[in-house]
Structure 1
Amino acid sequence: MIRLLFTSTEFRSFVAEGISTTRSLLAPDDAMVPVTSPLTPPLGDGEETDKKGAVVKRLKVQAIKKDIKQSPKKVNLVAKLVRGMRVEDALLQLQVTVKRAAKTVYQVIHSARANAAHNHGLDPDKLIVEEAFVGKGLYLKRLSYHAKGRCGVMVRPRCRLTIVVREATAEEEAKIAKLRVSNYKKLTRKEKQLMPHWLIEVSPRWARKRKEEAGATA
């Protein structure tokens, strides 16, 4: 015997309001349309929509690395070197830079390029390092033992690095193409940064002197 969970009056009211009282699905499994979860992020295609529904392409993509165990001043010396460069030229420059922070900056720029290409659909060959700035992190204080039973306080600095990349405009692409055939005379600072494959010499001067002396003696 089947026991009803509601009376006939309630059943009539449910039918009048269009409320189903059956446990079976109204539509077969083949006719069901899957609904995406609001918690699942959409795949990046390089295009976003604004409040009006218009498609807007993201212009800037960033990558951040925190808790770098180095002084922000030393990391900023390398970040300043590649600021404004093309991403390909910046990676080439960092490969020949004799600085400990060059490896860290290289990793963050490489990560920013991957984010721009994979998540937002930007062209990796047209990317430019728009911003490269360093922020101060947590400074840890430790004891520094001195002579005669005394001690001081030494600081172990930490910092964070932020790299922002964007696609080059048509004017910048034309300027880069022009610089490839020019003789690099009387260039502005921005033009020098956009100079294709123009690596800055960062080897120590004492190493240069030793090479010159070795060549003179030979």
Structure 2
Amino acid sequence: MFAGWRKLVGAVHTNRPIQRCLLHSGKLRCTLSPQITQLIRGKVKEVESEKQIGKRRNLDGSPWKLNLVAKQIRGLPVLDAINQMTFSGKKASQDVKSVLYNTMQAANHNKGLEAKNLIVSQCHVGKGTYRRKLRYQGKGSMSLMQIKHSHLYVELKEGEQKKKRETRMMRRLKKHENARKPKKIRSALM
């Protein structure tokens, strides 16, 4: 490296000389590129599988109601999620279905990912712009109404479906099953 780096470091002890002399000394600026610095500090994540992000902004409806629909498809394979939205009775399900379908098509076209291998890794909802509107009431009075909008973000990833959902369901079923079993009646006389 260079002579005298131990004087600059002081009480900091590490096993890596590059990190010792360049990153922990207060008198030197880091001369490494940001990628190498992140690699040295251990902040580089593993290479992730291919993913495709889809979003739709300012959908009609409140974020609360849209999130109820988004909860239904988190962690599901894309084709199952589209089927789930097709038969859902909620108004927001059609918007979610179109976002899923468009994202799936984009993943196939742009990155060559097959639909049968894709899962919905993330699906979250954000608050959109709220529009104000007058609500006319009796006796010449009025109040303000808020017309709510929300944003939807969907991330599709290649991979397998997580088993968490199934195990949680089985645990719940087991609990109900045990509750249904006939219990032995104890007589007070015996």
Secondary structure of 1:68's aligned partner:
strand
Secondary structure of 1:100's aligned partner:
coil
1:167 corresponds, among 145, 158, 170, to 158
Match of 1:99 in 2: 90
Alignment deviations for residues 4-45 of structure 1 (CA, whole Å, 9 cap, x no partner): xxxxxxxxxxxxxxxxxxxxxxxxxxxxxxxxxxxxxxxxxx
Q: Does 1:79 align with 2:70?
A: yes
Change (3 A) 1:132 1:91: same
Q: Does 1:149 align with 2:140?
A: yes
In 1, distance between residues paired with 2:125 and 2:108?
24
Alignment deviations for residues 25-68 of structure 1 (CA, whole Å, 9 cap, x no partner): xxxxxxxxxxxxxxxxxxxxxxxxxx8xxxx7852111000111
Contact 2:57 2:152 in 1 (8 A): yes
- Superposition TM-score, scaled by structure 1 size: 0.53
Match of 1:187 in 2: 166
Match of 1:120 in 2: 111
Change (3 A) 1:76 1:57: closer
Change (3 A) 1:189 1:165: farther
Equivalenced residues, count: 126
Change (3 A) 1:109 1:190: farther
Structure 2 unaligned residues grouped into runs of 5+: 1-34, 36-46, 172-190
Aligned-residue identity in percent: 34
Match of 1:134 in 2: 125
Contact 1:64 1:160 in 2 (8 A): yes
Higher helix share: 2
